[in-house]
Amino acid sequence: MHEERGEPAGGPTTQMTATATEEQFAGQVRSMFDRIAGVYDLMNTAMSAGLHHRWRERAADRAELEPGESALDVCCGTGDLAFALASRVGSEGHVIGSDFSEAMLDLAREKAASREVVPVRFEWADALALPYDDASFDAVTVGFGVRNLADLDHGVAEMARVLRPGGRLVILEITQPRRPPLSTFYAIWFDRLVPLLGTIAGDREAYTYLPESVKRFPPPEGLAMILDRAGLERIRYTILAGGIIAIHSGVRGEQV
C-alpha cells in the first residue's frame, strides 16, 4: 500500500449509528438524502469553498479510463463525478450513475438533460447489492458515499466484484486531519459551523450527521486495508487539502 501527499487546498442524524440494523440505517440515510437533495450541491460548494469539483476531477483522473471504456459511479448523488467520468470515456464509452435516493437521481437526470456530454444513465441501485454482473466495468468510483454504507466491507467487495480484471476502484472521501492547526480548524468547522449551515439550509439533523459519520469512518490506512481484504491490488491513497480529503484506489486482479 502506498500513501501520497497532495498539494494543500488553498450526511443521517446522530441517532443513525452502527447500533441500528442495516435496514434501519439504510432507510434513515435514504430519507436524509431525499430531504437534502435540493440543497446538496449548494452545501457542498459552501462546505468546500468550491473545491469539491476539483477533488472529483482528481478522482476521475485516478480511474485512468480510456475512450470507449465503461464506468460505474456508485452513490452518484447529483451526478458530478459521473459526468467527469463520461468526459473521459468519450462518445464510444458508457457510464452509469447509481444511487438509492430517487430525489438525487432526479436532479442528476435534470443535469444530464442540460449538458452536452456523453449520455450518462442514472438508475436506482443499492450499493450493498449492485444489480450488475461480475466483471462489468473498467472502473468503479464512489465520491463521498462510502461513509454512508451500513456495511463498508461488503460495499467495497460489491464494487470490486463488478470490476473487470485490471479495472480500478476509486474512492473519494472526507477524512480527519491529524496535525494542528488544520485539525483544530477542522474540528471547529465540522462540529460547529457545518451544523449551523445545515440549520440555515433547513436540515440541521443531516449536517450534524456529517461530522459524526467522518468520526466513525476508518482512517486512510484502515480503508486501504478494507480494499486489500476485497482482493484489490496496487492499493494507494493520496491525501489532499492538508488532510481533509483522501483518494484511494486499487486494481482488480486478473482472477475474478
For residue 242, the tally of other CB atoms under 10 A from its CB is 18
Q: Give mean pLDDT, residues 226-235.
A: 97
Q: How far is CA 57 from CA 21, 54, 72, 78, 181, in A?
A: 35, 5, 15, 15, 27
Q: What is the pLDDT of residues 104-163, one digit of tens each?
A: 999 999 999 988 766 799 999 999 999 999 999 999 999 999 999 999 999 999 999 999
In the predicted structure, residue 84 carries a pLDDT above the cut 90? yes
User: What are residue 74's DSSP bridge partners?
Assistant: 142
User: Which residue ranges form the domains of the chain, and what is each CATH number?
Assistant: 2-252 (3.40.50.150)
Q: 22-48 vs 52-62: helix axis angle to the nearest 10? A: 120
pTM: 0.88
In the predicted structure, residue 91 carries a pLDDT above the cut 90? no
- Per-residue confidence band for 13, with pLDDT thresholds at 50, 70 and 90: very low
pLDDT of residue 187: 73
pLDDT of residue 3: 58
| Residue 185: partners with Cβ closer than 8 Å, 6 or more residues away | none
- Per-residue confidence band for 81, with pLDDT thresholds at 50, 70 and 90: very high
